[in-house]
Structure 1
Amino acid sequence: MSTRERSAIVAVGRARPPWTALLLLGVPVLVALLGPLIRPTGEAPSAEGAMPSQPPGDGHPLGTDVLGRDMLWLVLHGGVSVLGSTLGALLVGMVVGVPLGLLAAGPRRGLDETVMRGLDLLLAFPGLLVLMTLAATGHRDWYWLVLVAGVLQAPAVARLVRSAALDPGTRTVVEALRMQGRGWAYIHLRHVARELAAPVATDAGGRFAVVLYLLASANFLGLGLSASSPDWAVLIERNRAALFSQPAAVLVPAGLLTALCVGGNLLVDHTLARKRRKG
Structure 2
Amino acid sequence: MSSAEEAGARPEGPGAVRGDRPRRPWIALVLLGVPVLVALLGPWLAGDPASEQGALPSRPPGAGHPLGTDVLGRDVLWLVLHGGASVLGSALGALLIGMAAGVPLGLLAAGPRRGLDETVMRGLDLLLAFPGLLVLMTLAATGHRDGYWLVTVAGVLQVPAVARLVRGAALAPGTRSVVEALRMQGRGWAYIHLRHLARQLAAPLATDAGGRFSVVLYLLASANFLGLGLPVSSPDWAVLIERNSDALFTQPAAVLVPAGLLTALCVGGNLLVDRVVARRRGR
Assess same fold via TM > 0.5: yes
How many residue pairs align between the two structures?
274
Structure 1's unaligned 5+ residue stretches are: none
In the alignment, structure 1 residue 170 sits paired with structure 2 residue 143: no
In the alignment, structure 1 residue 87 sits paired with structure 2 residue 87: no
Scaled by the length of structure 1, the TM-score of the pair is: 0.94
Query: Identity of counterpart residues, as a percentage?
Result: 81
- In the aligned structure 2, how far is the partner of 1:143 from the partner of 1:11? 46
Contact 2:17/2:23, CA 8 A, preserved across alignment: no
Q: Could you say what the CA RMSD is over the residues aligned between the two structures, in angstroms?
A: 1.8
What does residue 188 of structure 1 align with? 193
In the alignment, structure 1 residue 30 sits paired with structure 2 residue 37: yes
Matches within 5 A, 1:89-104: 89-104=94-109
Going from structure 1 to structure 2, the CA distance change for 1:113 and 1:7 (only over 3 Å counts) comes to: farther
- CA shift, 1:11, in A, is 4.8
Amino acid corresponding to residue 29 of structure 1 in structure 2: V
What does residue 220 of structure 2 align with? 215
Contact 1:45/1:74, CA 8 A, preserved across alignment: no
Tell me which stretches of 4 or more aligned residues in structure 1 moved more than 3 Å.
6-15
Amino acid corresponding to residue 152 of structure 2 in structure 1: L
Going from structure 1 to structure 2, the CA distance change for 1:133 and 1:8 (only over 3 Å counts) comes to: farther
What does residue 138 of structure 1 align with? 143
Structure 2's unaligned 5+ residue stretches are: none
**C-alpha offsets along residues 159-178 of structure 1, whole Å, 9 cap, x if unaligned?**
00000000111111111110
In the alignment, structure 1 residue 65 sits paired with structure 2 residue 70: yes
- CA shift, 1:45, in A, is 5.8
- In the aligned structure 2, how far is the partner of 1:91 from the partner of 1:83? 12
Going from structure 1 to structure 2, the CA distance change for 1:137 and 1:195 (only over 3 Å counts) comes to: same
Contact 1:86/1:215, CA 8 A, preserved across alignment: yes
Contact 1:65/1:239, CA 8 A, preserved across alignment: yes
- In the aligned structure 2, how far is the partner of 1:111 from the partner of 1:46? 61
**C-alpha offsets along residues 167-194 of structure 1, whole Å, 9 cap, x if unaligned?**
1111111111101111111100010011
Going from structure 1 to structure 2, the CA distance change for 1:187 and 1:45 (only over 3 Å counts) comes to: farther
What does residue 201 of structure 1 align with? 206
